[in-house]
Structure 1
């Protein structure tokens, strides 16, 4: 298992219940693909974006977003499946999954 960090930009206009359900769903997807969530946090509740973002299939534009950070351990072969799931979520404006390098290794 490798260590990963995922950053999500979520629609800022979601209700609190919708945000909670979305964050729970993001973590559940990690466990569905045999991963383990080690930490998660809201990095910024509302942050101005450098440029407007359009959601999947939507015509609204967003100038702000909620940043949500998740650290998890997962099999590298499952990352493509996670990317597919997260990319189809209409409430996620953008996301990025990066591998965390262990100190002392290259």
Structure 2
């Protein structure tokens, strides 16, 4: 039986004062969580530092990254768990791409 995979997109905002090595560690952890659930990252778009619409945890800017991938539905729960426990993540959002 074939396992159903869907297309997803996640956007996450990191603290702007993180070192490049710390940002890469977070990105690697997210990618490995996707691949552990038999998913595939299709595109990574690092926007860099952008001004936030409102202050989050005393930060006025954040480092944005958009990641597109396809995976099983179980990967969403795992990604949200990872984002919640990482200190460098200010905000995150995982959505399913229907188009």
1:27 aligned onto 2:24 = no
In structure 1, C-alpha distance between the alignment counterparts of 2:79 and 2:19, rounded to whole Å: 24
1:79 aligned onto 2:76 = yes
TM-score by length of 1: 0.82
> What is the alpha-carbon root mean square deviation over aligned residues?
1.2
In structure 2, C-alpha distance between the alignment counterparts of 1:78 and 1:14, rounded to whole Å: 26
1:69 aligned onto 2:66 = yes
Match of 2:41 in 1: 37
TM-score by length of 2: 0.88
1:10 aligned onto 2:7 = no
1:24: Cα distance to partner?
1.5
1:48 aligned onto 2:51 = yes
Among residues 90, 93, 98, which one is paired with 1:93 in the alignment?
Answer: 90
In structure 2, C-alpha distance between the alignment counterparts of 1:93 and 1:35, rounded to whole Å: 24
1:36: Cα distance to partner?
1.0
| Gaps in structure 1 of 5+ consecutive residues | 55-60
2:38 counterpart SS class: coil
